[in-house]
Amino acid sequence: MHQSIITADSILKYASNIQWRNYLKGIVIEPEIALNITAAFIFLQINGEDSIATIAGKLSKQYNISNQEACDDVIMIVTRLIEDNILHLVK
């Protein structure tokens, strides 16, 4: 596995083979990953065009947290999803 550096300027997209569904207020990504409401919010913002910083700005507004805290949260979540081959870096 190669190491990728995730920054505020990084842009992500979904892996082509993933299957997911809404479950309660979260998301289940088949076969075994469950995202809580915050991680689901982040996951649903991924569109292959918006940067981590843009997504963090939306998270900051949604949950009334600082931009830095939101950016840290987004990077933590997307890093895990990249490791699980759910997301891929566009840039």
The SS3 of residue 76 is helix
On average, the pLDDT of the chain sits at 93
DSSP per-residue codes, 27-67: EEETTTEEE-HHHHHHHHH--SSSBHHHHHHHHHHHHT--H
Q: Cα–Cα distance between 17 and 24 in angstroms, integer?
A: 23
For the entire predicted model, the pTM comes to: 0.91
Q: Is the pLDDT of residue 65 over 70?
A: yes
What pLDDT does residue 4 have?
63
What pLDDT does residue 2 have?
44
Residue 1: pLDDT band (50, 70, 90) is very low
Q: Cα–Cα distance between 12 and 32 in angstroms, integer?
A: 21
Task: Report pLDDT digits (tens) over 45-61.
Answer: 999 999 999 999 999 99
